[in-house]
Structure 1
Amino acid sequence: MTEVHRPPLTAGEREQLTGWLDLQRSFVRMKCQGLTEEDAHRKVLPSSPLMSIASLVAHLRWNEWSWFQLNLMGVPDTGQSPWTEGGHPDAEMFVDDIPLAQLLDEYDAECERSNETIAPLDLDVVEQGQYAAKGEAASLRYILCHMIEETARHVGHMDIIRELVDGKTGYTKLSEA
């Protein structure tokens, strides 16, 4: 049984933001528990032909990298991302040949790297990447709020897909910290 904790009700701003993001991140792995490879890669939404649970895990992994490494820290993309000049805008979702366990491990590792990256930073620090040069840099506070929304939205998609794939819904266990 997976146990998930919300951040303390009276925690400070940073602990609330990182706590809620970590909570949503934990739901990603929870939604994948017990899936077969076939079900993890099954596409059940005709209007979204790339969307499977596996492709959403990959999408979330690359969103972590994009927001915290590429945008916030200004780390250049030296070809490690799935995106290429003139390539498909959703290239990160082409993962039919990648095992779910590998995708989850890569996601977990990227989330850990994100947490390590932001740990010493003030919430008012702004992006150093491509948007900074355009005068549209977001603060770390904004990025954390966005990543909570992004992750929660896709966990909701995973919940729907999981129900369509095998009928499983909800959380295994949700407890207060």
Structure 2
Amino acid sequence: MTDVQRPPLTGDERTQLIGWLDLQRSFVRMKCAGLSEEDAHRKVVPTSPLMTPAGLVAHLRWNEYSWFQLNVMGVPDTGQTPWAEGGHPDAEMLVDDVPIAQLLDEYDAECARSNETIAGLSLDTVEQGPYAGKGEAASLRYVLCHMIEETARHVGHLDIIRELIDGATGYTKLG
């Protein structure tokens, strides 16, 4: 087990939000630790065959990119994302041929990039991307809260899937 730290009890709002998001992000790698390639791509939820550890890691990676790069910063999608008009709505989860180590490294890199991207932004910064023009734009504060929720929800999925695969349960000692 790995020791991970919760955000400080008296940290400011930014420290709390990023700290809680980083904590949830750390659980993604932790829940995938020691999985074989076969198990990382194993389909154990019959009604959701794309919900594998590998598929969830890829999904979370592209959510990081979508929310922080495309939406908050307004970086144009020049074809680098897995989504295409008329394509599969969950194309980011179609990763049967991608090693779990690669997916985890890409996720970690995207999380670091997200943190770098927002480091100098006010929590009141509003998104500049394509969704900003389709109604009320979200603040960075909202996006961080959403990403905590999104990541924690999928960490819960990883927890259940991991237990179904090999019986492994739990997380770690929290400081």
**What is the CA deviation profile of residues 48-107 of structure 1, one whole-angstrom value per residue up to 9, with x for unaligned ones?**
111100100000000000000000000011010000010000000000000000000000
Question: Quick check: 1:144 aligned with 2:166?
Answer: no
Residue 24 (str. 1) matches residue 14 (str. 2): no
- Offset, 1:133: 1.5
* Structure 1 residues not aligned, in runs of 5+: none
Question: Matched residue pairs, number?
Answer: 175
Cα offset for 1:173? 2.2
Instruction: Note the C-alpha offset of 1:134.
Output: 2.0
TM-score for the superposition, normalised by structure 2:
0.98
For 2:160, the equivalent position in structure 1 comes to 160
Identify the residue that residue 122 of structure 1 maps to in structure 2: 122
Q: TM-score with structure 1 length normalisation?
A: 0.97
Alignment-derived partner of residue 7 in structure 1: 7
For 2:168 and 2:103, the matched residues in 1 are separated by: 21
Corresponding residue SS for 1:83: coil
Give the 5 Å matches for 1:97-116: 97-116=97-116
Offset at residue 132 of structure 1 (A): 1.6
Query: How far apart are residue 161 of structure 1 and its match?
Result: 0.1
Unaligned runs of 5+ in 2: none
Instruction: Give the root-mean-square deviation of aligned CA atoms.
Output: 0.7
Match of 2:89 in 1: 89
Shift of the alpha carbon at 1:113? 0.3
1:51 aligns with 2:51: yes
Give the letter for the 1:96 counterpart.
D
Runs of 4+ residues over 6 Å off in structure 1? none
The alpha carbon displacement at 1:2 in A equals: 1.2
Q: Identity over aligned residues, as a percent? A: 82
